[in-house]
């Protein structure tokens, strides 16, 4: 036993002295990126689309055109099935075995949170995760992807209280980081307008029956109800509202919820639902970047429908490429971080000009949509959250 | 003969000690996971291999151990890790004893169903006990401490795991030769015969549950430190199935089999990291193949080959 503790002490000393390997994952001809994502489990569709049909879609087109500064980009993915412990093992495998340069576009608050400390410790950039919890703010090697939840809340409240003149609000939220981050932000933003939440109801993750919560919300009779849920229970809430005939209420979906999958699940119960959209309509938008995206999809994955998840991965890859281009031939983790911080007014042709800066936030906007005949119709221009 | 017998364990101990110096960093982490799983497999084998009670709920015991260790370390950071692990094991053992008593009346398929349900219930409790477990958001586990020593590197965590595993393996090996071990084996062969020979079957079956839960709880505690993050999603029924696959592949009722099975399954699991979808399929196929062609697992097959 004594021997073992001696070894432990020696090992600790060695571990402290060992320097982190610099610039792994970059050669003159190649950059290796990767992530642990959901390819099975509840968010398998989202994960698959964001990575293999999103990130890879952009890199396919980029590599065909000669890559970035003469380097082609290769990606490695492992499946965590939305389980944090698998995400930890996968991320370590990516960093220590596959020697990736940076993590790009992982998904889900718990898996991302589980790897955060490890990545910071080992100075591996975590780029544009598909989650919006404000917890990832202020980390040196982390760049947020999705518009953070507190910004989303600010836009939603300011728009509904301002131009729409609504006064009473209820919330149906998922009982985890995602839901609670929104809940706290709603309360704070309403307080600025001297208002309070009328009713709040929570849904445990994985539960789809929300009838009791909807009945309680109805009893409180708010003018609008925010849905901070995932597509399954979100659609169920809309169906429940239709079933109980609660018509004098505006249902408002959070940014991550405002997607086609949720509409498809809700069917005709989704008519009239409003929400904050973080992305232009992937099928109908005629922005130049959106056309390029659809053409690339048609060319490389002809059978795959354009959608918001693949678009988010595609955009993440585009942003990485812009950072790598600016970092130039001497691409290291440090030069990448400063290059990304230096991005100012970058025209993606998809979102408004992107400026990143020291706060590492890549998106700060959204626009208002309402569902008409099964599609999101844009009601406002881009809303600001600053 | 005794020299030859001591050779293999000795060689294994040496390998265990030098591993972090010869293996790349990731494999040090992976070896820690293998050791954690080996402890669970041992615990499960005490129950399933020795007293013939198959459990599909060990992910539940594993979770109790993991969360106990995590919560204790968070609330009382000064507690030495060995105490933390002992508490994790003891608490899990208590749950195991409490669960083992009603299970006495159940046999075969019904027992399996009850353990399966137990696993689900524990996951649900963890999800809903927000104040303690932080619910679905998960819990970040701070490094284990032993006085001034913090187990903050892969190598240090590996040695902690290896030391605990060595002690528990030695205990299991010795247990098999004791009165309790013989009673367990007698129960496996025939409950009626055991009873007729004066073995208090009910007491020993309950004891097996408690002991098995203790091992699994300690392993859970180590798991919390090795992985550093816990969430109820981690402890699903597939994890319980993985544990069962370990002891069936390795060999029911065999200590080396438990270790071997845990190694095979963990390494295979790691190799299949990109294809989680196919994992249940592949593990299921392995399970069936083992039962059909290799009853007694790898260890039994090996001794058959060695005898020839």
| B275 pLDDT more than 80 | no
Confidence of residue B4 (pLDDT cuts 50, 70, 90): low
Q: Choose the weakest-confidence range: A199-208, A223-232, A322-331, A333-342.
A: A199-208
pLDDT digits (tens, 9 = 90+) for B177-221: 898 888 988 888 888 898 898 888 889 989 999 999 999 999 999
Residues of A in contact with B171 (CB under 8 A): none
Cα A153 to Cα A149: distance, rounded to the nearest angstrom = 6
Q: Which of A1, A39, A117 sits opposite B276 (nearest CB)?
A: A39
Residue A183's Cβ-count burial label (10 Å; 0-12, 13-18, 19+) is: buried
Asked if B228 lies within 8 A of A118 by C-beta distance, the reply is: yes
pLDDT digits (tens, 9 = 90+) for A311-345: 999 999 999 999 999 999 999 999 999 999 999 99
CATH number, domain of A343, equals: 3.40.50.2300
Cα A125 to Cα A106: distance, rounded to the nearest angstrom = 12
Residues of A in contact with B153 (CB under 8 A): 11-12, 15-16
| B1 pLDDT more than 60 | no
Asked if B229 lies within 8 A of A1 by C-beta distance, the reply is: no
Instruction: Say how many residues make up chain B.
Output: 308
Provide ipTM, 2 decimals: 0.85
Residues of A in contact with B274 (CB under 8 A): 39, 77-79
pLDDT of residue A353: 92
What is the residue-averaged pLDDT of chain A? 89
Residues 6+ apart with CB under 8 A from A18: none
pLDDT of residue A239: 94
Q: Which of B135, B160, B228 sits opposite A176 (nearest CB)?
A: B135
H or E, element range at B35: helix B25-51
Asked if A109 lies within 8 A of B140 by C-beta distance, the reply is: no
Residues 6+ apart with CB under 8 A from B18: none
Q: Which of A7, A110, A206 sits opposite B17 (nearest CB)?
A: A7
Number of separate helices (H) and strands (E) present in chain A: 13, 13
Q: Report the gap between the CA of A186 and the closest CA in chain B (Å).
A: 20
The total number of structural domains in chain A stands at: 2
Tokens for A135? 């917890």
Query: Of the candidates A320, A330, A346, which has an alpha carbon nearest to the alpha carbon of residue A74?
Result: A320
pLDDT of residue B244: 92
Instruction: Assess whether A161 and A269 both reside in one domain.
Output: yes
pLDDT of residue B223: 96
Instruction: Assess whether A226 and A156 both reside in one domain.
Output: yes
Asked if A92 lies within 8 A of B274 by C-beta distance, the reply is: no
Cα A267 to Cα A265: distance, rounded to the nearest angstrom = 6
Whether B128 and chain A come into contact, CB under 8 Å, resolves to yes
**Cβ atoms of B68 and B127 closer than 8 Å:** no
pLDDT of residue A2: 53
pLDDT digits (tens, 9 = 90+) for A104-143: 999 988 889 889 989 999 999 999 999 888 888 889 999 9
**Cβ atoms of A127 and A106 closer than 8 Å:** no
Number of separate helices (H) and strands (E) present in chain B: 14, 4
pLDDT of residue B6: 74
What is the residue-averaged pLDDT of chain B? 89
pLDDT of residue A14: 45
**Cβ atoms of A367 and A382 closer than 8 Å:** yes
- Per DSSP, A108 falls in state -
Q: Report the gap between the CA of A340 and the closest CA in chain B (Å).
A: 29
Whether B140 and chain A come into contact, CB under 8 Å, resolves to yes
Instruction: Say how many residues make up chain A.
Output: 386
Region A265-272: what's the mean pLDDT?
A: 89
> DSSP letter string over B96-164?
HHHHHHHHTT--HHHHHHHHHHHHHHHHHHHHH-HHHH-GGG-EEPPPEEETTEEE-SHHHHHHHHHHH
Q: Report the gap between the CA of A224 and the closest CA in chain B (Å).
A: 27
pLDDT digits (tens, 9 = 90+) for B126-175: 988 888 888 888 888 999 988 888 898 999 999 999 999 999 999 998 98
Cα B137 to Cα A180: distance, rounded to the nearest angstrom = 10
**Cβ atoms of A281 and A261 closer than 8 Å:** no
Instruction: Give me the total of CB pairs closer than 8 Å, taking one residue from chain A and one from chain B.
Output: 127
Instruction: Assess whether A141 and A47 both reside in one domain.
Output: yes
H or E, element range at A372: strand A365-372
Query: Of the candidates A176, A44, A173, A49, which has an alpha carbon nearest to the alpha carbon of residue A109?
Result: A176
Instruction: Assess whether A155 and A142 both reside in one domain.
Output: no
- Cα-based torsion angle of the residue sequence B226, B229, B230, B235 in order, rounded to the nearest 10 degrees: -60
- Residue to mutate among B70, B127, B136, with most A CBs inside 10 A, is B136
**Cβ atoms of B56 and B119 closer than 8 Å:** yes
pLDDT digits (tens, 9 = 90+) for B7-34: 888 888 999 999 999 999 899 999 999 9
Is A73 inside a domain boundary? Answer: yes
Is A8 inside a domain boundary? Answer: no
Q: Report the gap between the CA of A12 and the closest CA in chain B (Å).
A: 6
Residues of B in contact with A39 (CB under 8 A): 274, 276-277
Asked if A12 lies within 8 A of B156 by C-beta distance, the reply is: yes
Q: Which of A88, A93, A175 sits opposite B135 (nearest CB)?
A: A175
Pairing state between β A102-104 and A30-37 = parallel
Asked if B149 lies within 8 A of A9 by C-beta distance, the reply is: yes
- The answer to whether the Cα torsion of B205, B210, B215, B221 is positive or negative is positive
Q: Report the gap between the CA of A10 and the closest CA in chain B (Å).
A: 9
Asked if A89 lies within 8 A of B137 by C-beta distance, the reply is: no
Cα A88 to Cα B253: distance, rounded to the nearest angstrom = 32
Region A223-242: what's the mean pLDDT?
A: 92
Region A30-37: what's the mean pLDDT?
A: 96
Is A67 inside a domain boundary? Answer: yes
Instruction: Assess whether A136 and A36 both reside in one domain.
Output: yes
Instruction: Assess whether A263 and A378 both reside in one domain.
Output: yes
- Cα-based torsion angle of the residue sequence A96, A102, A104, A109 in order, rounded to the nearest 10 degrees: 70
- Per DSSP, A98 falls in state S
Instruction: Assess whether A235 and A350 both reside in one domain.
Output: no
pLDDT of residue A135: 83
pLDDT of residue A19: 41
Domain interval for residue A262: 149-277+367-384
Q: Which of B136, B156, B234 sits opposite A176 (nearest CB)?
A: B136
Which residue of chain B has the CA closest to A94? B26
Q: Choose the weakest-confidence range: A3-7, A56-60, A352-356, B302-306.
A: A3-7
DSSP 3-state assignment of A301? coil
Q: Report the gap between the CA of B121 and the closest CA in chain A (Å).
A: 14
- Other Cβ atoms less than 10 A from the Cβ of A167: the count is 13
- Per DSSP, A348 falls in state -
**Block residue for tokens 């812009």:** A322
- pTM here is 0.86
Instruction: Assess whether A162 and A251 both reside in one domain.
Output: yes
Region B22-47: what's the mean pLDDT?
A: 94
Q: Report the gap between the CA of B86 and the closest CA in chain A (Å).
A: 17
CA separation, residue B307 to residues A137, A237, B122, B234, B296 (Å): 63, 66, 44, 42, 15
- Residue to mutate among B229, B237, B272, B283, with most A CBs inside 10 A, is B229
Which residue of chain A has the CA closest to B148? A9
Instruction: Assess whether A255 and A377 both reside in one domain.
Output: yes
Whether B142 and chain A come into contact, CB under 8 Å, resolves to no
User: What are the backbone angles phi and psi of residue A305, rounded to the nearest 5°?
Assistant: -70, 140
User: What are the backbone angles phi and psi of residue A53, rounded to the nearest 5°?
Assistant: -110, 0
Instruction: Assess whether A218 and A245 both reside in one domain.
Output: yes
- Per DSSP, B232 falls in state G
pLDDT digits (tens, 9 = 90+) for A37-93: 999 887 888 899 999 999 999 999 999 999 999 999 999 999 998 888 889 999 999
Cα A304 to Cα A321: distance, rounded to the nearest angstrom = 23
Asked if A110 lies within 8 A of B136 by C-beta distance, the reply is: yes
Cα A45 to Cα A38: distance, rounded to the nearest angstrom = 8
| A1 pLDDT more than 50 | no
Instruction: Assess whether A251 and A296 both reside in one domain.
Output: no
Cα A119 to Cα A242: distance, rounded to the nearest angstrom = 46
Q: Report the gap between the CA of A18 and the closest CA in chain B (Å).
A: 11
Asked if B274 lies within 8 A of A82 by C-beta distance, the reply is: no
Instruction: Assess whether A176 and A251 both reside in one domain.
Output: yes
Tokens for A177? 């980081």
Is A362 inside a domain boundary? Answer: no
């Amino acid at each position: 036993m004594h021997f073992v503790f001696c070894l432990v002490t020696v090992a600790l000393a060695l571990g402290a002295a060992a320097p982190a390997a610099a610039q792994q994952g970059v050669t003159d001809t190649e950059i290796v990126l990767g992530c642990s994502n959901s390819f099975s489990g509840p968010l398998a569709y989202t994960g698959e689309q964001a990575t293999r049909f999103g990130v890879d879609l952009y890199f396919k087109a980029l590599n065909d055109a000669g890559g970035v500064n003469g380097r082609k980009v290769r990606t490695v993915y492992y499946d965590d099935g939305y389980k944090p412990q698998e995400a930890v093992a996968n991320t370590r495998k990516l960093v220590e075995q596959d020697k990736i340069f940076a993590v790009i576009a992982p998904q889900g608050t718990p898996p991302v949170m589980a790897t955060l400390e490890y990545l910071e410790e080992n100075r591996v950039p975590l780029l544009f995760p598909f989650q919006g919890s404000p917890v990832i703010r202020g980390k040196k090697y982390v760049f947020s992807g999705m518009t953070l939840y507190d910004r989303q809340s600010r836009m939603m409240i300011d728009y509904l209280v301002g131009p729409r003149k609504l006064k009473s609000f209820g919330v149906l939220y998922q009982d985890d980081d995602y839901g609670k981050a929104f809940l706290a932000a709603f309360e704070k933003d309403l307080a600025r307008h001297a208002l309070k939440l009328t009713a709040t109801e929570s849904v445990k993750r994985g539960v789809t029956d929300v009838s009791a919560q909807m009945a309680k919300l109805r009893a409180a009779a708010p003018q609008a109800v925010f849905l901070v849920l995932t597509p399954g229970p979100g659609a169920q809430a809309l169906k429940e509202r239709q079933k109980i005939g609660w018509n004098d209420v505006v249902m408002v979906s959070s940014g991550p919820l405002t997607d086609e999958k949720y509409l498809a699940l809700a069917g005709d119960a989704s008519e009239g639902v409003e929400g904050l959209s973080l992305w232009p309509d992937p099928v109908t938008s005629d922005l130049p970047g959106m056309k390029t995206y659809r053409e690339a999809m048609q060319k490389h994955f002809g059978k795959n429908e354009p959608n918001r998840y693949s678009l988010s991965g595609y955009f993440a890859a585009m942003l990485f490429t812009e950072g790598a281009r600016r970092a130039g031939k001497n691409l290291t983790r440090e030069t990448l971080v400063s290059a990304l911080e230096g991005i100012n007014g970058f025209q993606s042709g998809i979102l408004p000009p992107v400026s990143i800066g020291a706060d590492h936030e890549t998106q700060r906007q959204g626009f208002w949509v309402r569902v008409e005949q099964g599609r999101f119709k844009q009601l406002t221009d881009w809303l600001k959250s600053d | 003969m005794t020299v030859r017998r001591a050779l293999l364990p000795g060689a294994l101990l040496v390998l265990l000690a030098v591993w972090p110096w010869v293996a790349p960093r990731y494999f040090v982490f992976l070896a820690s996971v293998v050791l954690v799983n080996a402890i669970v497999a041992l615990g499960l084998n005490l129950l399933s291999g020795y007293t013939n009670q198959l459990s599909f709920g060990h992910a539940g015991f594993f979770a109790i151990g993991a969360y106990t260790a995590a919560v204790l370390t968070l609330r009382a950071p000064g507690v030495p890790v060995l105490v933390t692990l002992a508490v994790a094991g003891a608490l899990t053992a208590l749950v195991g004893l409490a669960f083992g008593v009603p299970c006495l009346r159940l046999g075969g398929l019904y027992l399996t169903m009850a353990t399966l349900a137990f696993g689900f219930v524990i996951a649900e409790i963890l999800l809903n006990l927000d104040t303690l477990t932080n619910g679905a958001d998960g819990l970040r586990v701070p490094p284990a401490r032993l006085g001034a020593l913090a187990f903050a590197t892969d190598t240090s965590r590996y040695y902690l795991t290896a030391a605990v595993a060595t002690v528990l393996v030695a205990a299991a090996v010795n247990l098999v030769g004791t009165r309790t071990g013989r009673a367990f084996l007698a129960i496996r062969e025939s409950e009626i015969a055991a009873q007729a020979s004066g073995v208090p079957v009910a007491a020993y079956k309950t004891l097996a549950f408690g002991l098995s839960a203790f091992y699994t709880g300690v392993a859970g505690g180590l798991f919390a430190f090795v992985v550093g993050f816990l969430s109820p999603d981690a402890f699903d029924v597939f994890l319980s199935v993985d544990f069962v696959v370990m002891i069936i592949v390795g060999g029911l009722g065999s200590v080396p089999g438990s270790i071997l099975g845990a190694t095979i399954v963990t390494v295979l699991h790691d190799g299949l990291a990109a294809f989680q979808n196919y994992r249940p399929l592949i593990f299921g196929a392995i399970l069936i193949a083992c039962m059909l062609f290799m009853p007694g697992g790898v260890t039994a097959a090996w001794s058959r080959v060695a005898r020839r």
